[in-house]
Structure 1
Amino acid sequence: MSAASNWYLYMLRTPTGALYTGITTDVTRRMGEHQSGKGAKALRGKGELQLAFHCAAGDRSLASKLELKVKKLSKAQKELLVKAAPESLACYLGLQESEVEEVSQRA
C-alpha cells in the first residue's frame, strides 16, 4: 500500500460528549496535536480528548468524502457509528457500489 493511501478517519470525544471528526495519516500524532492545542480551533481548551473511533479510509480524496458524510450525520447516528465500529465505513454510510470497491482497493 502506498503512503498516499494510508489515510484514516477518526472521531474524538470531548469531556462534554461532543464528537469531532477528522482525517489524518497518523491518528496518534494528530490526537496529540489536538490535545496540545495545535490542532483544530474547535477543540482548543475543550479538555481531555478521547479517541472514540478510527478506521482506514483509503487515499486523501476518499477520506475527505467519508469525513464529509460522517460530519453530516446527526449526533445519534454518530453514536451508532462509534458503537457499531463497522469494518467497512463505506458500506455503513451507504456509498455507491463503485465507491465501496474503491475503498476496498485503496484501504
Structure 2
Amino acid sequence: MAKSDAHYFYVLQCKDGSYYGGYTTDVARREAEHNAGIRCKYTRNRRPVHVIHSECFATRSEATKAEAAFKKLPRAKKDSYLQENKE
C-alpha cells in the first residue's frame, strides 16, 4: 500500500494516562502536531503524548469507523483492546 493510500487509526497515551484516539494519513506527523499543541484541544494540556497503537486501513471510512468504535469503549475495554492488539 502506497503511503498516500494509507489511512490510520491511532491511539495516544497522554501525560495524565488518558487515551486519545484519532485518524490520520501520517502517524509521525500527527504525533508531532499533538506535542506541538496543534489542532487538538484535548491533548494540548496533556502533553507530552506518545503513540501507543496504530492500525493501517485501505480507506478513510474504515479507519474512522475503527476510531469511533474505540472511543465508545469504556476504559477497561480500551485497555483490553490495546493489550490484545499489541504490535
TM-score normalized by the length of structure 2: 0.88
Cα shift at 1:11: 0.4
- 1:16 lines up with 2:16 in the alignment: yes
Is residue 10–residue 21 contact of structure 1 (8 Å, CA) maintained in 2?
yes
Identical aligned pairs, as a percentage?
33
In structure 1, stretches of 5+ residues that fail to align are 88-107
Q: Which residue of 1 aligns with 2:47?
A: 47
Q: Across the two proteins, how many residue pairs are aligned to each other?
A: 87
Is residue 10–residue 23 contact of structure 1 (8 Å, CA) maintained in 2?
yes
- 1:58 lines up with 2:58 in the alignment: yes
Is residue 4–residue 59 contact of structure 1 (8 Å, CA) maintained in 2?
no
CA distance in structure 1 between the aligned counterparts of 2:11 and 2:38, rounded to whole angstroms: 17
RMSD: 1.7
In structure 2, stretches of 5+ residues that fail to align are none
Letter in 2 for 1:78: K
TM-score normalized by the length of structure 1: 0.73
CA distance in structure 1 between the aligned counterparts of 2:70 and 2:60, rounded to whole angstroms: 15
CA 1:3–1:46 in 2, change beyond 3 Å: closer, same or farther?
Answer: same
Larger radius of gyration: 1
Q: Which residue of 1 aligns with 2:27?
A: 27
Task: Map Cα deviations across residues 7-46 of structure 1 (whole Å, 9 max, x no partner).
Answer: 0110001111100000101000000000000031111121
Letter in 1 for 2:66: L
